[in-house]
Structure 1
């Protein structure tokens, strides 16, 4: 299962409400990054609450308790909306069926005689643990564990699990998270049909991009270059909308990791009505705009887009061979 992370409830509780409030922000940050990577939270223990709201952060203080207070604080409005979006996007939690392997497979921490189901799930599905920072022992980016496998020889060995708990661990696992995202976007049709989940701050025009991606016949490396560009554009557009950027510049995409060249058109194109018209596209709100900005992909392909300053949104309008010069 490559689209899930395992909620580690053993990393709770916090010592007090103040620590819980701070730790919940770190946990929300982890969840936010995981969702951009296409990963959803999996709840493995049946005795745990099936809603994030029901998680007890410290004695008598739940996530829903935090929400009740946070709604009164303007600075926390974005996080309140994020929490509500998690609750309404189903499934946030899933019961992971590991009973079929628990009789022959066990995973535990060094020095402990019995294993833990969350460790078993993370190992079995080859994915991340998602931990809170309440207990220092669960705040590491990696965990050494022992694995007991009844049908294996030898029956016990040491392994390492990946853990996400704060910004530092997100930095450590940044490349792995990127690889997980890309694995879920490994074909042109994946990019198109999963666009609302992976590119919520972009608009990919149906007639142009939708047709190109659903009928893709060009080289795979061209597609992956386009995918990488879309990933960077999505990152920029989300930050643009949140106010981190006040306008669009090519340099911002480069600063966020765009490896391909990005530019506008030459004066010879801008001054030629026929060539310029070829780069005019209808947006979904009825506007016809000049889309000179483009990313130069391999094999002569181009990805044209329009940075809409009014809505702080990027419209991706064309993916295909170089337009007329």
Structure 2
């Protein structure tokens, strides 16, 4: 799972409005967190409304009905629903070219032996799915599937595979760091990191010469990777500090969070920045050497 995931329409409809009102806010929070980790696009099946409003949630009751009756009356829920719409949506699961190539490819849920289009698309594209946990098998992750492919001489090859199913924040917690690591690894220049800093490191503020150094990075790639990894750890540290999970700075805390580089004190420029008087003192980082 990276910049896109597949919406699992097979998990609909909800059992009733009570289940809908319980799960929808959790679904929105899940998607927004995934968006901060790089999810840019949710791909929906061609039979699903790409604008969401005409998706039937319970018999005769649509997304637009829920939005009018629930979200518009709750400021927080309305804000979350509007932010969710900022994640782009496209369809279908397969382009015409991909669909033709996938004719000799099928995927079955390992237990029910049922072929679900969303699982087929997820395996084909090497991505994950996003579900409402309304019923089995959409309330567990990963989901085991059997992939059937036709070999060169016409024989059917069957192999097991797993599909990540984002259906709860607990599941997201389990995969979050791998998603962040994959997104960071895709950044191959200082300018890319700088231009994507708000998404990559939402809890960091860059001061002094850091912006110019990133935009004009001329050092070797290994140094950039070390700096990027250090910023990732600092971002996690700042988030935990804000949540009250960390109460004081220590070098050992950074090491526990995954920092593998030598740590020095703050630079004089950062230490004297008046904008940061009330903020936790942030260390500067050096490569080993």
TM-score range, shorter chain: 0.7 to 0.9
Which position in structure 1 is the counterpart of 2:92? 95
Structure-2 separation of matches of 1:33 and 1:152: 42
**Other structure's SS at 2:7 match:** strand
Q: TM-score, normalized by length of structure 2?
A: 0.77
**Other structure's SS at 2:89 match:** coil
Structure 1 unaligned runs (5+)?
266-274, 301-325
**Other structure's SS at 1:173 match:** helix
Could you tell me which of 172, 188, 191 is aligned with 1:189?
A: 191
Which position in structure 2 is the counterpart of 1:119? 119
Shift of 1:36: 2.0
* Matched pairs, number: 281
**Other structure's SS at 1:52 match:** coil
CA contact (8 A) 2:29 2:80 kept: no
Residue pairs, 1:39-54, within 5 angstroms: 39-54=39-54
**Other structure's SS at 1:106 match:** strand
**Other structure's SS at 1:137 match:** coil
Structure-1 separation of matches of 2:113 and 2:270: 69
1:114–1:71 CA distance, 2 compared to 1 (3 A): closer
1:219-278 Cα offsets, whole Å, 9 max, x none, are 5444334323433454566678xx74599853697599363676755xxxxxxxxx8468
Structure-2 separation of matches of 1:13 and 1:172: 27
* Structure with greater strand share of residues: 1
Structure 2 unaligned runs (5+)?
none
Which position in structure 1 is the counterpart of 2:21? 21
Residue pairs, 1:159-174, within 5 angstroms: 159-174=161-176
**Other structure's SS at 2:110 match:** coil
1:117-137 Cα offsets, whole Å, 9 max, x none, are 211221111111111111132
| Residues 1:66 and 2:39 are matched in the alignment | no
Structure-1 separation of matches of 2:124 and 2:13: 26
Residue pairs, 1:1-325, within 5 angstroms: 2-68=2-68, 69-73=70-74, 77=76, 79-89=77-87, 91-96=88-93, 97=95, 98-110=98-110, 115-151=115-151, 154-158=155-159, 159-204=161-206, 208-235=209-236, 244-245=243-244, 249-250=248-249, 254=254, 257=257, 259=259, 264-265=265-266, 276=268, 293-299=282-288
